[in-house]
Structure 1
Amino acid sequence: MMHNLLFYYLLFVGLVAAENGRQAWLRYAPLPRGHSTPTLPSTILALNSSASSPVYTAGQELQKGIQGIFGKRLSVHATGKQASSAVVGTASQFQKLFGSNPVKDELIEDGFWLNVKGGTVQILGQNERGALYGAFEYLSMLAQGNFSNVEYATNPAAPIRWVNSWDNMDGSIERGFAGKSVFFAGGHVASNLTRVSEYARLLSSIRINAVVVNNVNANFTTVNAENIAGVARIADVFRPYGIQLGLSLDFATPMKLGNLSTYDPLDSEVIAYWNAVTQQIYDHIFDFAGYLVKADSEGTPGPLVYNRTLADGANLFARALQPFGGIVMYRAFVYNQLPDEGDWKADRANAAVDYFQPLDGQFDDNVIIQIKYGPIDFQVREPASPLFANLPNTSTAIELQVAQEYLGQQCHLVYLPPLWRTILDFDLRVDNQSSLVRNVVTGERFKRPLGGSAAVVNVGLNDTWLGSHLAMSNLYAYGRLAWDWTSDSEEILQDWTRLTFGLDKTVVDTITQMSMASWPAYENYSGNLGEQTLTDILYTHFGPNPQTLDNTPWGQWTRADHTGIGMDRTVSTGTGFSGQYPPEVAAMYEDVETTPDDLLLWFHHVNYTQKLKSAKTVIQHFYDAHYEGAETAQRFVQMWQSLKGKVDDERFEDVLFRQSFQAGHSIVWRDAVVNFYNNVSGIPDDAGRVGHHPFRIEGENMVLSGYRPYAVTPFEAASNATAIVTTTNSTVGTATAMLDFASGVYDLAVNYFDLYGGNSTYQVFVNSRLIGEWIGNAVDIGKLGHSPSIYLDGHSATRITFPKVSIKRGDTLKIVGEANGVEPAPLDYVAVLPAGVVD
């Protein structure tokens, strides 16, 4: 028997060496050689033997985790009183069996008590879900080599710790960057729900308690009889992990599916319809969590169509759910009338308070208003939404986004908790008293019965779940913070790193340094001083396109012109947005002198020559910050390369590919933004960098055969506003140039465009020597999961670098590009870079 156990343990050790990311932070990898081993329990006593019970799951998880970490397989029992057993269950189950309750502190719903002292292992939850959370906590300690003798209770900051999935019934995912849906395929619930079970396990381990499985832009067929039965299968998979299922609704379903002539929330037939649908759902899913509703926003139907209030709309669903204990998460993201850019007073940011504040106190108690962290839309920096201060008589939840819709779409490393903390730690000063956003959304500040958070988490069938190994730190951290918003972002990151990549201190320190620098770097090169993320808001939300923020009806304006930039949101001369905050905060934002520099352009329209507190002008800060951000992204590549041999090859190469992409794309961002504002303002860069590229060879300046120049739109997306493309989509093009650089060793960087719908092939030569070759297929094969582009623009622009190439002055550089599909082997420029030069 012992030989068999050893065999399986060694087999397990061998298997974990080949890592694909699917186990995420629940790898339960063996501890490094030489690491001490604690006194382990002899058996596991799980106080519920029902397979659908979270306590049963906890017993199985403890068995799996201890076997993985220590190679010791423990038996699991539901009865017995062995002193050396690890006991997991609820406090009431423990008392029933043992006649006593060792929990010394009060537990609230989902809370747990962990006692690991003197060989004792007691994991007791207030409910079964809490017991499972405690089991994961214990295993997290063991997996990190933490064998502390501890005894403590921990309770959640708020009862609502949800994730929202933007999955569609056809299997696609809106703003999904990691493949198809784990929930749906072909208009139905997926037949194989293995990945759903694995996902539920991950979420339970970070104490998420509900998942809305479908898109907020909901399809009315979600609640037909077939799909209700289908999502009930998902709920069955969730249940052993203590996770409840929720659904997004199409407000007009009574008309689209129910054959009614109206969806007026006060119509008796509509009320009866939703009551019947809700009853049918609970007949299939007894622990159904509730509804998520997006209405009257971006063209979605809602109560405003019938001149009803948003409270009328929310209460329609609340009253249908109330008998069953369900809740309504009603999104505050409401705007259907697009503002007029010609009106200096118009401001989309005002909408949430304008719509919801007059209704405070009119929402039923099982309604939670789900508020995006900022007033616009998941931007790289926004002020805290003032709506948090304007609903003292209504339960609220903060909406965050793990899916990096505007923040690099998992192709750029951006560790999000430091951004979230700028909002959650902000003091709104309601009634001149401490009013931290985190205390508002938990219900503590205004003594509300419900509250918490929801995060958009668009996992897909990709083994890495989010498309990127490093992006998973954001999901892990969201769960940890939702439980305790005071948790330290860096400590959470280090726990995640140890669980995901192992205990090597160099690995932990390096990933920590990269991740903690990542949001400031991204903000620097994507849009700073509160100007929002300068991406293309009309298309993919991925690459740079500052032109699209203005001269469009979407209200994400910068109001940039040849003399100044920024939205005037003051009460005195602007849109009045600053006045939506309580007086102390409003006064701070009203005055340009007291407004923090990092939100200056959010609240004020100023000249480009306006001096910041750093004494730099706005425009010079723009130039400097974008160069600094791009330089930081280059360092991420070197830092990750230093971990070769310390991280398994599969994940090392995958992350290296993404960091190399980010390094190149950060330069695309840098150049696009600084060139655009240099062109608009006419003010030169004091450092002489903008428009000055002595190491570049522009494609249009090379000798071309089968290639032709192509004017890129927007102009700032290409160096010198011009690329080269093959003359036809079946042509092989060549571009040659004499290298007029001192003889030496250089990095050769080629900027090109990777379009969706074609896989061009490229070769680069110095004289007749092949330096490298590649295929422009990263978006087609899903290696990069960002929203693709079919145009030559800031989304498709990218770079490949060939390091340490020896050249002599007078050598001939030649690039051969072969078009494929819609992609005409497009090239922008070649940079011949001396050591240490970023261009």
Structure 2
Amino acid sequence: MKILSKHILALLLIFSCRLSADDGSQLWLRFPENKKGISADKIFVKNSSPTLHIASRELMRYWQGQSVELRISKSLSGLKEGYTIISDRNKITITSAKDTGLLYGVYHILRLQQTKAPLTQLNIREKPAYDVRILNHWDNLDGTIERGYAGHSLWKWEELPDKISPRYEEYARANASVGINAVVLNNVNASPEMLRTDYLEKVKTIAGIFRPYGIKVYLSVNFSSPKILSHLQNSDPLNKEVKHWWKEKTHEIYQLIPDFGGFLVKANSEGQPGPQDYGRTHADGANMLADALKPYGGIVMWRAFVYSPSKEDRAKQAYLEFVPLDGKFRDNVIIQIKNGPIDFQPREPFNPLFGALRKTAEMVEFQITQEYLGFSNHLVFLAPLFKETLDSDTYAYGKGSTVARITDGSLHKAKITAISAVANVGEDPNWTGHEFAQANWYAFGRLAWNPDLTSEQIADEWIKMTFTDNPRFLAPVKNMMLTSRETAVDYMMPLGLHHIFAAGHHYGPEPWGDYKEGRPDWSPVYYHQADSEGIGFDRTNTGSNAISQYFSPLNEIYGNIKTCPENLILWFHHVPWNYRMKDGKTLWEELCYKYDTGVKNVREYQKLWDRMAPYIDAQRFTEVQTRLKTQARDAVWWKDACLLYFQTFSKQPIPYDIERPVHNLDDLKKIKLNMGHHN
């Protein structure tokens, strides 16, 4: 009877847990509400500011430990927005030169409390690796989001400045909790209307909500704004009228928003206007804007994503356009460089521009939104991708010249350092569409503060804060997250394959895509180069010679098929179908087994997740379960499409211990989805 009653009790506990609903809106900020409330006399704050008010409020609501003192000390100015946390038996003291640093320190101890880390004998010293830790929103004025998979934009432009959504402050709080301190509000494919006075008034309202959370607002600007908004003859950056227009417009912005951060610019790329329209250089355009911003301390983030139609290998273009301009940019210009040389692919080598610009500040641009990784349908934890780039050794200043050390100022001095990522949030209740996509927003914030953190540390924190610290949930789910990026690479584009997505929307496979009427470098066949001999893009000195853009010894390593990392072999080499890989398989066999492994892993994720039902709420469990079903179907779609298509060139059988294709190639070629466009 006792055994039976225990069994029933366990079932009831599971059932009650499964009945509860959770829409995911709390993100990782699930601090247990402090029912008793820490008494005000346990929080010591000498100074006062809106930011310190927020810090105190967070402690009053959620802190359950000993007394906390928040102390401003200019002697710690070397830590920038960083802080120290020292604890003794009776009190924790958080000290910073800035009130934002104290807010970050409060979120640090709340994170420690939430993850059940020890809170005694704390001796913590934190300094952010980057000055500007920025999210780029690809949000449009009509409320749509380019490459957004979590509903419409958070920004309700038609309602502002009169009506204010409570989500503006919730969003600011989430960013501050992971140290993100800057936001570009609008799409890099910018509308000139963004700079109209009525819109700037709306921006002022958002900036006012963000300010106490330590977040500065930036805007993407359209280079043709003077001509379009004020009917100037042109937008030539050397035209005195144009320069004057930008100075006046910048002055207007700073009158409204004194701490405005600056401009993000996409110019002369994919049809966007820019200085080259007038025979000028990227430096001419960037410097004109930099001069307008200089009196106010603003910066220009000028994107290096500059692919225009060219006979040159697309992977080489950014380097070819920017290296000749090195040293010609003002010191408040930062070149914003995508992590890889093509476009946010599931795997790319790092962009060779990192370290190549010796006299110009450089910053990384990552993509949190999953444009090329299954949108918000696929579970792909991006910390390993971010880390792969940040930890890559460029050899620009000798061994140990990682992308992180070049961009954070430790190897390459810059007036201001920055790191950016394209946001994945929208108005969905859970912010990001997929519950696990929240982890990618969290991971970017944590790595922007400290790129030395490991993917495992970040996943561990996030799971404990978002779901539960129960080891039966934590260990398997962490393993799923940590392997998920490699799994996606396997079922989409293993061994260095890239950009074989369906056109325009980039969801699903289309390796047969050959858009003869458009630009060749938007066609999958341009990238995989499959023929009867083999597959892959020859970027060695017998091909496009893109390897020459990398420092020694990388150019030799990548250029030699025997030493090239196999996970990039088809990026740098056109490899024969029967080439023997390191494990003894032929390239064709290796490709088949990689796709099959990807499919099998997603199915294992499904089984794993189904076993997690007892540990979390029913709503989030079901939402993730539903998306994993879609991901498993998509993985099979990718495997069948790619193997059946590439088999028409290899003329070899799919190994018999691999699951047979369930689709016909002709049927797969007929699939057409109707979605978005490039960025």
Same fold (TM over 0.5): yes
Structure 1 counterpart SS, 2:188: coil
Distance change (3 Å), C-alpha of 1:128 and 1:396: same
Shift of 1:184: 3.5
- Stretch moving more, 183-192 or 372-381: 183-192
Alignment of structure 1 residues 451-490 onto 2, 5 Å:
451-490=417-456
- Stretch moving more, 683-692 or 406-415: 683-692
Asked whether the equivalents of residues 443 and 451 of structure 1 are also in contact (C-alpha less than 8 Å), the reply is yes
Shift of 1:679: 2.2
- For 2:667, the aligned partner's letter is V
- Alpha-carbon distance between aligned partners in 1 of 2:416 and 2:514, rounded to the nearest angstrom: 37
1:641 to 604, 610, 628: 610
- For 2:141, the aligned partner's letter is M
- Which of the two has greater strand per residue? 1
Aligned to 1:681: 650
2:61 to 59, 64, 67: 64
1:120 to 72, 91, 98: 91
Aligned to 1:29: 32
Asked whether the equivalents of residues 415 and 519 of structure 1 are also in contact (C-alpha less than 8 Å), the reply is yes
Match status 1:539 vs 2:494: no
Residues 69-120 of structure 1, C-alpha deviation per residue, up to 9 Å, x if partnerless? Answer: x5x9xxxxxxxxxxx742224225xxxxxxxxxx8x7742111111222121
Residues 526-556 of structure 1, C-alpha deviation per residue, up to 9 Å, x if partnerless? Answer: 01111115311x2211111112277562525
Structure 2 counterpart SS, 1:547: coil
- For 1:388, the aligned partner's letter is F
Shift of 1:646: 0.7
Shift of 1:17: 5.3
Shift of 1:40: 9.2
- For 2:93, the aligned partner's letter is Q
Aligned to 1:108: 79
Asked whether the equivalents of residues 117 and 151 of structure 1 are also in contact (C-alpha less than 8 Å), the reply is no
Distance change (3 Å), C-alpha of 1:498 and 1:300: same
Residues 111-142 of structure 1, C-alpha deviation per residue, up to 9 Å, x if partnerless? Answer: 11112221212122221111110010011111
Aligned to 2:667: 712
- Alpha-carbon distance between aligned partners in 2 of 1:186 and 1:148, rounded to the nearest angstrom: 46
Shift of 1:513: 1.2
Residues 770-804 of structure 1, C-alpha deviation per residue, up to 9 Å, x if partnerless? Answer: xxxxxxxxxxxxxxxxx589xxxxxxxxxxxxxxx
Specify which structure has the bigger relative contact order, considering alpha-carbon pairs within 8 angstroms and separated by 6 or more residues: 2
Aligned to 1:816: none
1:517 to 447, 459, 483: 483
- Alpha-carbon distance between aligned partners in 2 of 1:532 and 1:187, rounded to the nearest angstrom: 42
Asked whether the equivalents of residues 559 and 565 of structure 1 are also in contact (C-alpha less than 8 Å), the reply is yes
Asked whether the equivalents of residues 112 and 134 of structure 1 are also in contact (C-alpha less than 8 Å), the reply is yes
Aligned to 1:135: 106
Asked whether the equivalents of residues 143 and 156 of structure 2 are also in contact (C-alpha less than 8 Å), the reply is yes
- Alpha-carbon distance between aligned partners in 2 of 1:187 and 1:561, rounded to the nearest angstrom: 55
Residues 214-268 of structure 1, C-alpha deviation per residue, up to 9 Å, x if partnerless? Answer: 0000000000010001100010010110100000000000000021011011110
Distance change (3 Å), C-alpha of 1:713 and 1:146: closer
- Alpha-carbon distance between aligned partners in 2 of 1:415 and 1:453, rounded to the nearest angstrom: 19
Asked whether the equivalents of residues 321 and 327 of structure 1 are also in contact (C-alpha less than 8 Å), the reply is yes
- For 2:383, the aligned partner's letter is P
Asked whether the equivalents of residues 550 and 557 of structure 1 are also in contact (C-alpha less than 8 Å), the reply is no
- Stretch moving more, 385-394 or 118-127: 118-127
- For 1:393, the aligned partner's letter is K
Asked whether the equivalents of residues 459 and 478 of structure 2 are also in contact (C-alpha less than 8 Å), the reply is yes
Shift of 1:47: 3.8
- For 2:138, the aligned partner's letter is W
Structure 1 counterpart SS, 2:614: coil
Aligned to 1:561: 531
Distance change (3 Å), C-alpha of 1:339 and 1:559: farther
- For 1:514, the aligned partner's letter is M
Residues 387-419 of structure 1, C-alpha deviation per residue, up to 9 Å, x if partnerless? Answer: 002111111100001101101112111111111
- Alpha-carbon distance between aligned partners in 2 of 1:377 and 1:38, rounded to the nearest angstrom: 49
- Alpha-carbon distance between aligned partners in 1 of 2:546 and 2:162, rounded to the nearest angstrom: 45
Aligned to 2:8: none
- Alpha-carbon distance between aligned partners in 2 of 1:226 and 1:659, rounded to the nearest angstrom: 44
- Alpha-carbon distance between aligned partners in 2 of 1:433 and 1:147, rounded to the nearest angstrom: 37
- Stretch moving more, 39-48 or 213-222: 39-48
Asked whether the equivalents of residues 675 and 690 of structure 1 are also in contact (C-alpha less than 8 Å), the reply is no
- For 1:712, the aligned partner's letter is D
2:168 to 176, 179, 196: 196
Shift of 1:190: 8.5
Alignment of structure 1 residues 365-380 onto 2, 5 Å:
365-380=331-346
Asked whether the equivalents of residues 424 and 441 of structure 2 are also in contact (C-alpha less than 8 Å), the reply is no
Match status 1:88 vs 2:70: yes
- For 1:91, the aligned partner's letter is S
Shift of 1:324: 0.4
- Alpha-carbon distance between aligned partners in 1 of 2:156 and 2:351, rounded to the nearest angstrom: 33
Match status 1:652 vs 2:621: yes
- For 1:530, the aligned partner's letter is G
Distance change (3 Å), C-alpha of 1:278 and 1:541: same
- For 2:57, the aligned partner's letter is Q
Aligned to 1:403: 369
Structure 2 counterpart SS, 1:529: helix
Match status 1:528 vs 2:494: yes
- For 2:233, the aligned partner's letter is S
1:418 to 384, 389, 396: 384
Match status 1:223 vs 2:178: no
Asked whether the equivalents of residues 525 and 630 of structure 1 are also in contact (C-alpha less than 8 Å), the reply is yes
- Alpha-carbon distance between aligned partners in 2 of 1:156 and 1:115, rounded to the nearest angstrom: 18
Match status 1:669 vs 2:638: yes
Residues 604-641 of structure 1, C-alpha deviation per residue, up to 9 Å, x if partnerless? Answer: 11211122222222111111111111010001111111
Asked whether the equivalents of residues 606 and 625 of structure 2 are also in contact (C-alpha less than 8 Å), the reply is yes
Distance change (3 Å), C-alpha of 1:304 and 1:62: same
Larger radius of gyration: 1
Asked whether the equivalents of residues 18 and 648 of structure 1 are also in contact (C-alpha less than 8 Å), the reply is yes
Aligned to 2:23: 20
Distance change (3 Å), C-alpha of 1:65 and 1:328: same
- Alpha-carbon distance between aligned partners in 1 of 2:90 and 2:514, rounded to the nearest angstrom: 61
Distance change (3 Å), C-alpha of 1:30 and 1:431: closer
Distance change (3 Å), C-alpha of 1:502 and 1:431: closer
Aligned to 2:303: 331
Aligned to 1:739: none
Distance change (3 Å), C-alpha of 1:652 and 1:146: same
- Stretch moving more, 211-220 or 507-516: 507-516
Shift of 1:382: 0.6
Match status 1:429 vs 2:395: yes
Shift of 1:41: 8.4
- Alpha-carbon distance between aligned partners in 1 of 2:397 and 2:187, rounded to the nearest angstrom: 37
Distance change (3 Å), C-alpha of 1:190 and 1:500: farther
- Alpha-carbon distance between aligned partners in 2 of 1:46 and 1:650, rounded to the nearest angstrom: 40
Aligned to 1:622: 591
Aligned to 2:118: 147
- Alpha-carbon distance between aligned partners in 2 of 1:493 and 1:563, rounded to the nearest angstrom: 42
Shift of 1:431: 4.7
Asked whether the equivalents of residues 263 and 299 of structure 2 are also in contact (C-alpha less than 8 Å), the reply is yes
Asked whether the equivalents of residues 596 and 659 of structure 2 are also in contact (C-alpha less than 8 Å), the reply is no
2:273 to 287, 294, 301: 301
- For 1:214, the aligned partner's letter is N
Match status 1:587 vs 2:556: yes
Structure 2 counterpart SS, 1:490: helix
- Alpha-carbon distance between aligned partners in 2 of 1:39 and 1:462, rounded to the nearest angstrom: 33
Segments of 5+ residues of structure 2 without an aligned counterpart are 1-15
- Alpha-carbon distance between aligned partners in 2 of 1:541 and 1:308, rounded to the nearest angstrom: 33
Match status 1:382 vs 2:337: no
1:604 to 573, 587, 593: 573
